[in-house]
Amino acid sequence: MITDSFTAGPAGTILVTGASGLIGRALVDRLRARGQTVRRLVRSATGHAGDFLWDPARGVLDPAAMAGATAVVHLAGEPVAHRWTPARKAAIRDSRVQSTALLARAIAALDGPRPVFLSGSAVGFYGDRGDELLDETSAPGRGFLPTVCQAWEEAAQPAVAAGARVAFLRTGVVLHPEGGALEKLLTPFRLGAGGPIGTGRQWLSWISLEDEVRGIEQALWTDAIRGPVNLVAPTPVTNAEFATTLGRVLARPALIPVPAFALQLLYGEMAEETILAGQRVMPRVLLAQGFAFAHPTLEQALRSMLGR
C-alpha cells in the first residue's frame, strides 16, 4: 500500500481545465474522493453544476469560475500526436499559450490571497538530448516543442508576478491501458507485431497515470514546490527496453522493429521530435519532497495496469 508523502490541504475549491482528458478525468475523480470541490472549465455548456464556460482564443473566462478558488490546475491543450502542418503547429502553440495567459491574468486580477496555479508543461521542454541526464535545472532544448514549452511556461508570469505560487507540470509519457500511447501499443504487441522504434536508443521518460495524478496532488499541497516539476518515474528506459518489457509482460515476442523512415514519411517533423527523439529525465523535485512512487519501475507499472 502506498502512503502519500504529503498531507492533503483543507477542503477547498479547485478549478480544472482539460478535465475531459485522460489525466483530467482521473484527477477530478481523485480530488472529489478526497473531499475537494472541483469546478471544470469547459468550452460548451454541459448543464452540469460546477462547469463554467471559457474560450481562450477569444479571451473569454466566466469570472464566477475563479471566485473563491483555492487552486487552478491547467491541463488543456491541443493534441500533439498529428502530422504538423503550419496550421496544426499554430494550434498546438496558441491553445497552450493563450489559455495559460488568460488564467494567469485572471489570477493576477484577483483581490486577496491568490490560488495556487499548476500549469501544464511537458518534458518536451528539454528537446532531444541523447543520453544526457536531465532534471528541473536543465536548460531547454532546441526545436518546435521546446519553443512551445518555453512560451507555455512564460505565459504564466502574470500570476508569478502577482505573488501566486506557480508550478509547471513537465509531464512525461503517461501510461494507462485506456488512453494515450499504451492503449495504442497494446493491440500490435498482443498480436506479436510489436518492437522497438527506429534505433530503439531514444530515452522514454514515462509515468503511470496513478503517479501522474498523485504527483499533481503533491504539487497542490506542497508549498515548497514552485517552478518546474518533472512528472516522470525515477527509472526512464530506452525505447528498446520499453518494447522488451511490454513484450515480456504480455508474454509475446517484441522483435519487429518500426523503421524510422516510415514514421518520418507518415508524420514528418512530429515523428522526429517525439517518437524518434527522447529525454532521460529525473523527477528531482518530487524525490526531494519524499514522494513515494506507486509504480517506480516500468515492469511493475505494466504488470499492475494490465493485471499480469
Angstrom distance (rounded) from CA 50 to CA 42: 10
Tell me what pLDDT residue 6 has: 66
pLDDT band at residue 35, thresholds of 50, 70 and 90? very high
Q: Is there a domain that residue 272 lies in?
A: no
Q: Is there a domain that residue 196 lies in?
A: no
Strands (DSSP E) contained in the chain are 13-17, 37-42, 51-55, 60-61, 71-74, 116-122, 133-134, 166-171, 173-175, 203-204, 206-208, 227-231, 237-238, 280-281
Tell me, what CATH number does 38's domain have? Answer: 3.40.50.720
Q: Is there a domain that residue 58 lies in?
A: yes
Q: Is there a domain that residue 80 lies in?
A: yes
How many separate domains does the chain show?
A: 1
Residues 60-109: tens digit of each pLDDT: 999 999 999 999 999 999 999 999 999 999 999 999 999 999 999 999 99
Q: Residue 45 belongs to what domain range? A: 13-175+206-234+280-294
Q: Is there a domain that residue 246 lies in?
A: no
Tell me what pLDDT residue 54 has: 96
Q: Is there a domain that residue 262 lies in?
A: no
What is residue 276's DSSP assignment?
T
Angstrom distance (rounded) from CA 215 to CA 33: 16
Tell me what pLDDT residue 5 has: 65
Q: Is there a domain that residue 147 lies in?
A: yes
Residues 127-172: tens digit of each pLDDT: 999 999 999 999 999 999 999 999 999 999 999 999 999 999 999 9
Q: Is there a domain that residue 56 lies in?
A: yes
Residues 2-28: tens digit of each pLDDT: 657 666 767 789 999 999 999 999 999
Tell me what pLDDT residue 19 has: 96
